[in-house]
Structure 1
Amino acid sequence: MNSTPERSGDGATDGHGQEVLVSLSRCDLADARSVFGVLGHAFDSDREADDEPEATSGPRPTVWVTTVDVTEPRAAAEPVTLTAPVTVDAQGGYWAVDRLRTHLTGAFAVRVVGTAAGDQEQEVRLRLENR
């Protein structure tokens, strides 16, 4: 006998595959804050509401990372202005990454510029530009 509660559903919305790891690098600090603001406004995240990306110094590029739960967006995305195009790497389940991409289209012009597919997860490189 197993004491684990049974789950039903297709795996997309039953507690699995709902999180997406999002990373930004080689972009302006203001643009990183804008992208994370769009994500934080709509989705639960591992970052506190007032936890904004910060500038760093040194010869190496800065990478800003967050994990978002895309189960149910709290709000629709509004258009946001970027100072330059931003590259976003998103890794997670197929359903979750697609939901993240779809949500970002409310704020930015989004173009898929690369993918790496696995059995249950994918990594997608997105290019965000002003709409």
Structure 2
Amino acid sequence: MVTVSLTGTSRKDAATVFGMLRTAFPTDLHVGVPEDPPGSRPAVWTAEFAPADDRIPTGPAPLDGQVSATLQGGCLAVDLLREALDAAFAVQERGTAPGDQEKEVDLRLGAKR
């Protein structure tokens, strides 16, 4: 499993990212996007995915702005999810924290041009 946390983004862009990941890695788990938080507090959108080698290819997905994404999980699973994000978005790696059997990757996602 990979936990995906999105920050610095709108509900619409969070739904776009999670929707693309649900298409690439179909699951029977419901991954919804909650309502916008009240007031002006920043939101963190979080979902879990179980990436597999046989992902469904996706094309570019539109984003209105930049999205900060953190991926946490097993090394291979994080790499598979990162490949799916690379296919749909312009991805800039901002940092990596490797572990023994897990890793965390911080990314900046934008619209692919």
TM-score of the two chains, using structure 1 as the length reference: 0.77
Match of residue 43 from structure 2: 62
Q: Name the Cα RMSD after superposition.
A: 1.8
Measured at CA, do residues 90 and 45 of structure 1 come closer, stay the same or move farther in structure 2, by a change above 3 Å? Answer: farther
Match of residue 101 from structure 2: 120
Percent identical residues: 44
Aligned length: 112
The answer as to whether partners of 1:20 and 1:93 remain within 8 angstroms in 2 is yes
TM-score of the two chains, using structure 2 as the length reference: 0.88
Structure 2 alignment gaps of length 5 or more? none
Correspondence list, 1:1-131, <5 A: 19-45=1-27, 47-48=29-30, 51-131=32-112
Q: Please state whether the residue corresponding to 1:106 is helix, strand or coil.
A: helix
The answer as to whether partners of 1:46 and 1:66 remain within 8 angstroms in 2 is no
Q: Please state whether the residue corresponding to 2:22 is helix, strand or coil.
A: helix
Q: Which has the higher contact order (CA 8 A, sep 6+)?
A: 2
Name the structure with the higher helix share.
Answer: 2
> Larger radius of gyration, structure 1 or 2?
1
